[in-house]
Amino acid sequence: MAGLDYWSYVLVSVSIISGTLATIIFVLRLCCRRFGGAGIKSEDFLMGIGLLFSYGLVVCTFIAVFNGVGHHIGSLPEGTRRRVTLVFWLGQKFWIISQVFVKVSILELVRKLFSTTRRLRITVTALLTLTVVWGVIAFIGDIFLCWPPQHFWIKNMDGHCMNSQRAFFMVIGSVSLVEDIVILLVPLIEVWQMHMAPRQKVQIMLLVSLGCLACIFSLLRVIELRHYATENVTASGALETIWALLELHCAVACSSLILLTPIYRRCHQFWKSNCCSQRQVKNTGRSSDCDYIFGTWPYDVSFWHGGGSQLQSEACYAPEALSAAKEFSSDTRNITVQTSIDQVVDDRAVAFPSEEASPESV
């Protein structure tokens, strides 16, 4: 067993911290779904499977840490060289499978939350197809980098490997990066085109934009792959593994944050009842900063999707009435209700089926 060096400690720290944070946020997502009455959806199961496969990459990372990561592979015993090379080979498979499930989960969530037009539904379907095809090609190609596959970690057996393994990794990583960017842009564009209060639009876009972090880590991984040497994975694979772990766990966490609205609401109510009430005593007759910041956060937002139609409703305090609302004991006064309906003529039969059922009544 090789001694631990700087990269070993970094790998252990990143694996534990990122994996723990992603798991906590995902569990909070499930709690919000379960106790919020929505129930566990298919995208939650898919995300859970993706998170489980990311644990496989974490396990491979821990095994590699205690088998020579950071050292030149030529300085390791023969048994250690085989073991650590096999671990890196398996880690690539866990990364690919986890990527597929995480991406499919995010796309399913986008389909259910924002799929209000035929164009967007086609885009999401195309991205789902691309994700599955990418996963199959990447998984099979990664298995057969060498023939037989065991030749990847048993160098003294008869066989041969692909000449441009680094180029293969970079192509697979680049396609994944482009897909990450497109998946991020699709809901951002859809939210921008929705009819809702500007403040709410900005809040939702900021939450969705957290996915930029996953794209950044994906880009850093692709850049690092330029220095990845499959013949010396212990010396060149540490930083690539760090970016791979951060990319996966950041994608899980950021895609779950947008579903934690009940927690945000509870935090807002707690902050309002403690901090803001105290400040109101000191500043009688003035609206507090807490209400100004959080008062327009929607208390309830609902969407109805029917074909290319969209119905959206929200209720929030009117900004100009925040201070006046303090004078009333009831919270139902000075509330602004905004409802917008976007409907395509072809979808009228979906929203009003009775009209086509009895045309003679018109």
Q: Show the tokens assigned to 303.
A: 């969407």
99, 194: one domain: yes
| pLDDT value, residue 276 | 59
| pLDDT value, residue 198 | 84
70, 217: one domain: yes
305's enclosing H/E stretch is strand 300-306
Residue 258: half-sphere exposure toward Cβ, Cα within 13 Å = 25
Can you tell me the distance from the alpha carbon of 218 to that of 238, in angstroms, rounded to the nearest whole number? 15
Mean pLDDT for 119-131 is 94
| pLDDT value, residue 277 | 58
* Phi and psi at residue 309, to the nearest 5°: -100, 155
Can you tell me the distance from the alpha carbon of 274 to that of 267, in angstroms, rounded to the nearest whole number? 11
Residue 160 lies in a domain: yes
Residue 278 lies in a domain: no
195, 329: one domain: no
* Phi and psi at residue 337, to the nearest 5°: -110, 125
* Phi and psi at residue 122, to the nearest 5°: -65, -40
Residue 271 lies in a domain: no
Count of residues in the chain: 362
Q: What is the pLDDT of residues 172-203, one digit of tens each?
A: 999 999 999 999 999 998 888 888 888 888 88
57, 122: one domain: yes
Residue 302 lies in a domain: yes
Instruction: Place 3 in a pLDDT band, splitting at 50, 70 and 90.
Output: low
181, 71: one domain: yes
Residue 303 lies in a domain: yes
Burial class (CB in 10 A: 0-12, 13-18, 19+), 336: middle
| pLDDT value, residue 297 | 37
Pairing outcome for strands 160-161 and 335-342: unpaired
Residue 11 lies in a domain: yes
Lowest-confidence region among 127-141, 259-273, 288-302: 288-302
299, 205: one domain: no
185, 50: one domain: yes
Can you tell me the distance from the alpha carbon of 237 to that of 88, in angstroms, rounded to the nearest whole number? 8
164, 56: one domain: yes
Q: What is the pLDDT of residues 237-280, one digit of tens each?
A: 999 999 999 999 999 999 999 888 888 777 877 777 776 555 55
For residue 326, pLDDT beyond 90: no
Q: What is the mean pLDDT of the chain?
A: 80
Lowest-confidence region among 10-19, 48-57, 227-236: 227-236
Amino acid making up residue 289? D
188, 321: one domain: no
292, 160: one domain: no
Spatial contact of 249 and 241, defined as CB atoms under 8 Å apart? no
* More confident site: 303 or 163: 163
Whether pTM > 0.85 for this model: the answer is no
Can you tell me the distance from the alpha carbon of 282 to that of 279, in angstroms, rounded to the nearest whole number? 5
Q: Show the tokens assigned to 9.
A: 């400690």
Which CATH number fits the domain that encloses residue 45? 1.20.1070
Q: Which residues contact 53 (CB under 8 A, 6 or more apart)?
A: 94, 97, 98, 101
For residue 286, pLDDT beyond 60: no
Residue 48 lies in a domain: yes
Residue 130: half-sphere exposure toward Cβ, Cα within 13 Å = 17
Give the end of a domain, one of 216, 244, 259. Answer: 259
Give the end of a domain, one of 259, 274, 301. Answer: 259
Instruction: List the alpha helices (DSSP H) in the chain.
Output: 6-35, 42-65, 78-114, 118-143, 165-193, 198-209, 212-224, 233-236, 238-257, 261-271, 277-282, 289-294, 322-325, 348-351, 353-357
Mean pLDDT for 123-150 is 96
* More confident site: 346 or 240: 240
Residue 270 lies in a domain: no
* More confident site: 147 or 283: 147
* Phi and psi at residue 358, to the nearest 5°: -135, 75
Count of the separate structural domains present in the chain: 2
99's enclosing H/E stretch is helix 78-114
Can you tell me the distance from the alpha carbon of 133 to that of 113, in angstroms, rounded to the nearest whole number? 24
Order of strands across the sheet that contains 300-306: 300-306, 309-317, 335-342
For residue 294, pLDDT beyond 70: no
Q: What is the pLDDT of residues 48-105, one digit of tens each?
A: 999 999 999 999 999 999 998 988 998 999 999 999 999 999 999 999 999 999 999 9
Instruction: Place 351 in a pLDDT band, splitting at 50, 70 and 90.
Output: very low
What is the DSSP track for 265-282?
HHHHHHHIIIIIHHHHHH
Can you tell me the distance from the alpha carbon of 243 to that of 236, in angstroms, rounded to the nearest whole number? 13
Spatial contact of 92 and 130, defined as CB atoms under 8 Å apart? no
Spatial contact of 356 and 349, defined as CB atoms under 8 Å apart? yes
245, 158: one domain: yes
Q: Which domain holds residue 242?
A: 6-259
320, 207: one domain: no
Given CA atoms 229, 234, 236, 238 in this order, what sign does their dihedral have? positive
